[in-house]
Copies of this chain bind each other. A is one copy, B any other.
Amino acid sequence: MKSAHKEMMKARRRNICLVVSYDGTNYHGFQRQTPPVIAVQNVLERTLEKIFGDEIELAAAGRTDAGVHAIGQVVNFFTDGSIPIERVARAANGLLPPDIVINNASEASRDFSALHSASRKTYRYRIYNCSVMSPFERNYAWHIAKPLDCGAMREAMGHLVGEHDFSSFRAAGGADISPVREMDIASISREGKIITMIFRADGFLYHMVRNIVGTLKDVGSGRLMPDDFRSIMDARNRGKASPTAPAHGLCLMRVDYEK
């Protein structure tokens, strides 16, 4: 039944790919929810249905959690709607609420999947490191009052780069898939009170970035040494790592595709 529905969707003429930004503050994550609970996907699908004139089912590169933001989320969907591709973004942005924006729309080949074709994803995590929180960062950065040692955090992050078993940073309820991922960027920089961390990998386990950041914060505060971070990774045991960092510091920056 479900696969028949999937076949029907795939029989449609066009496969449309969108690059989407959203402020996740007012949504229960990306993935479609049952109203009155509203996710980004609900709002996008409802809007696209008005424009394309048929039922829309989105697939997304990353299913961001409640409160997580996106600057370069990628989605795709099949449609028989006839609106020219160059009019899609403007038409949708005119109907969407101002906290969800379509940056780009393009025709994709039939075998393109925003989720399965993704070769790399880049996430950013921001910390506001000051005794007094900024009212402008309350939804976009994790407030850590005590000064963090970015040098120690950077040293710990060096252990992340390469192919590793990230079981220690996988949410307890994570799916039963391989915990091995290859991370090629793990960087940290400070500009005034804002600490920005960038993580790029071929894929991420559920809550992986937030669990890594929660543990890095303990390195920055001196509760853990950079080498402890390595031992925690090697233990492949979620119980060894620190609590999950809050959602609102996280942002899906970019999704890369081969070719």
Interface size of A by CB at 8 A reads: 19
The reply to whether the CB of A101 lies closer than 8 angstroms to some CB of chain B is yes
Please provide the chain A residues from 108 to 153 with a CB less than 8 Å away from any CB of chain B in the complex.
Answer: 132-136, 138, 140
Cβ of A29 to closest chain B Cβ, rounded Å:
15
Tell me which of B22, B89, B134, B135 contacts A135 (CB under 8 A): B22
* Pairs A–B under 8 Å by Cβ, sample size 11: A23-B135, A69-B136, A89-B132, A93-B132, A93-B133, A98-B133, A98-B138, A99-B135, A101-B133, A102-B132, A136-B140
- How distant is the Cα of A100 from the Cα of B132 in the complex, in angstroms? 11
The reply to whether the CB of A237 lies closer than 8 angstroms to some CB of chain B is no
Contacts of A102 in B (CB 8 A): 132
The reply to whether the CB of A103 lies closer than 8 angstroms to some CB of chain B is yes
The reply to whether the CB of A21 lies closer than 8 angstroms to some CB of chain B is yes
Contacts of A99 in B (CB 8 A): 135, 138
Q: Which residue of chain B has its CB nearest to the CB of A131?
A: B90
Q: Which residue of chain B has its CB nearest to the CB of A20?
A: B135
Please provide the chain A residues from 1 to 53 with a CB less than 8 Å away from any CB of chain B in the complex.
Answer: 21-23
- How distant is the Cα of A142 from the Cα of B133 in the complex, in angstroms? 25
Contacts of A23 in B (CB 8 A): 135-136, 138
Contacts of A138 in B (CB 8 A): 23, 98-99
- How distant is the Cα of A140 from the Cα of B102 in the complex, in angstroms? 19
Contacts of A89 in B (CB 8 A): 132
Tell me which of B21, B93, B135, B140 contacts A21 (CB under 8 A): B135
Q: Which residue of chain B has its CB nearest to the CB of A22?
A: B135
- How distant is the Cα of A140 from the Cα of B98 in the complex, in angstroms? 12
Cβ of A246 to closest chain B Cβ, rounded Å:
13
Contacts of A135 in B (CB 8 A): 21-23, 98-101
Contacts of A140 in B (CB 8 A): 136
Please provide the chain A residues from 159 to 201 with a CB less than 8 Å away from any CB of chain B in the complex.
Answer: none
- How distant is the Cα of A138 from the Cα of B25 in the complex, in angstroms? 13
Q: Which residue of chain B has its CB nearest to the CB of A70?
A: B135
- How distant is the Cα of A134 from the Cα of B102 in the complex, in angstroms? 10
